[in-house]
Amino acid sequence: MCRQRVSVRLSDLLKKSRAILSLGMTPPNLPHQFEKLRGGNRTPFVIAGAGLSAGLTPTPAALIADNRDSAERFLRIQSVATTSTGADILYEWAEGALLELRKRGEVAPKLRIGEALGLISNPQWAAEVGIPLNRASPRHRVIARLAREDRIEKIWSLNWDAHIENALEQIGFELDEARVPQPWKTAYRTITLHGEAHYLARNDVFCVLKPHGCVRALVKAKGLLAGNIPQATQISDRLLLTREELRRDRLNETDHFFRQKLEVQLREHPLIVIGWSISEPFLLTVVRASVNAEEPAIEECTIIDCTFNGGGHTAVTECYKLDKALAFAELNLTDGPTADDLLLWIQARYALDQLHLFADEAVKASIDALRAELATPQPNNIAVAFADSFLPAWVRLCWRSGLVQAALFNQDAVRLELEDFHVPLSVGSIVRADLQAAGVLLMRLVASESGWDLDRYPGALFDEGEERLVLPFPNWGIPNNLLGLKPLVDAIERNTAFITRLDILPLGGNAPDDDQALAIKEAFSSLTRHPHFSDPANISVVTDLGN
């Protein structure tokens, strides 16, 4: 995974709930709101706009610039005259195109426009290109993990793309219904119509609300077109892309449903806005009608974006009785911090909090020092890679091996075909030997002089200079199986030319004796087809990273 470098400086260390942190030469603010994602009783909900998908999908201006001529040929309409600039060109053009299609009685006209613009055929919208293979962008991956950790109440996405859905699926959420119940939420539902409201009442389903429509819904509508034109039209009509419908509240049952639900969310939960300009007047009206901040509360609203506009951003912060300095976190697509940087930082801070809960005093002190270093986003800090690449794979291995147990947990439902399958770091009041051992390893990594790469082989430590791979191994019990190592074994077999030395590092429990060390080596070698490491003699068991 590619991470941008960013130089940061600390200007004010979370002294009170109003603390402000500064980064770089022109410091944006990182409000205290982010602490809500790490803990606390009032879980925030997220409203995501186009900025969350920046660089992954075309901007509105690029979408119409690249597709206008071909779209008009596809729709068999005359060139639509436009006078707008920027993103508004798309919405003005779509308004004219829709009018022409309706005049001639076109069936499901918005579906036709979506097809013409490539929303169904372009894999960028379906989250099939532009991201790491079989994974999600860092920003979407972290949001999905925080959803599984129950640190996000709901996501409202004003984007058509399916990047957030892809991320939820990559970390193990299943669409609509879970095949096997677990101690955490395992199903999700994207809601685009009022008829899907019953999912909101279910505690076992995480909901993504998309009042502006979704490309997956368009695909569904296209499949229905041959047999159920009314339903295909109803589904595709949720694609809001004309200038008029983005300005005014529409008088139909689904829009009324979304307005009511947004009012409830705003009254009951803190708000985090990511990459949304809040330019739709009818949505701003909902905010104004719902928020009645008698006392300023910095925890109640945060806006994350590249710029703070004098329109919607100002209006919303005024509703919360906050000024820009207390509510705005600025992103920078060139020099950082980017949205990826910011969310990876939040994830690292959250992971350190969970490790701290189960650590002994020496490890707690090391974690405290790391938390102080991570008072601001630092993409190259080892805790960031540890939380993003190593820790999820390690936790998955320990749970899949039966070495951590919780009520209702089914180890066979840990899906090994998903490289990013996520077992929460917080699962009720249970003993977390996996997190205790991980805290010890992190302390060793901080003290180590080697430049460990934690990204290339998730769940293992790679020293490129020494061509050495170290595999941490749970050593506090007898595993039921080692199937949780399969993703790592596959990664080793794909990139084995880079590895000349493979060490296994037992964590937890007492140091293994010779017979136990041999059993560990044999257990691992039996999993791989590679001729060199399938021989236990070519694997070492070590007790320290420096061995």
Contacts of 260 (CB under 8 A, 6+ apart): none
**pLDDT value of position 18:** 22
Type of residue numbered 140: H
Helix axes 88-103, 109-116, angle to 10 degrees: 130
DSSP state of 158: -
Q: What is the spatial distance between Cα 364 and Cα 353, in angstroms, rounded to a whole number?
A: 10
Question: How many Å separate Cα 110 from the centre of its chain?
Answer: 29
- Phi, psi angle pair for 474, to nearest 5°: -65, 130
**pLDDT value of position 116:** 98
| Mean pLDDT along residues 38-51 | 84
Residue 330 has pLDDT above 60, yes or no: yes
**pLDDT value of position 42:** 78
- Report residue 181 as tokens: 């119940």
Maximum CA extent, the chain: 82
Residue 508 has pLDDT above 80, yes or no: yes
Q: State whether residue 485 is helix, strand or coil.
A: helix
Helix, strand, coil shares of the chain as percentages rounded to 5? Answer: 45, 10, 45
| Mean pLDDT along residues 476-501 | 88
pTM of the model: 0.91
- Give pLDDT tens digits for 201-245: 999 999 999 999 999 999 999 999 999 999 999 999 999 999 999
**pLDDT value of position 6:** 26
Q: What is the spatial distance between Cα 367 and Cα 391, in angstroms, rounded to a whole number?
A: 15
| Mean pLDDT along residues 433-461 | 94
Residue 2 has pLDDT above 50, yes or no: no
**Which of the residue ranges 67-76, 124-133, 535-544 has the most confident prediction, judged by mean pLDDT?**
67-76
Q: What is the spatial distance between Cα 428 and Cα 85, in angstroms, rounded to a whole number?
A: 52
- Give pLDDT tens digits for 4-20: 222 222 222 222 222 22
Confidence of residue 1 (pLDDT cuts 50, 70, 90): very low
Determine which of 17-31, 237-251, 370-384, 386-400 has the lowest per-residue pLDDT on average: 17-31
Residue 286 has pLDDT above 70, yes or no: yes
**pLDDT value of position 300:** 86
- Phi, psi angle pair for 223, to nearest 5°: -65, -25
**pLDDT value of position 36:** 64
Helix (H) or strand (E) holding 71: helix 60-75
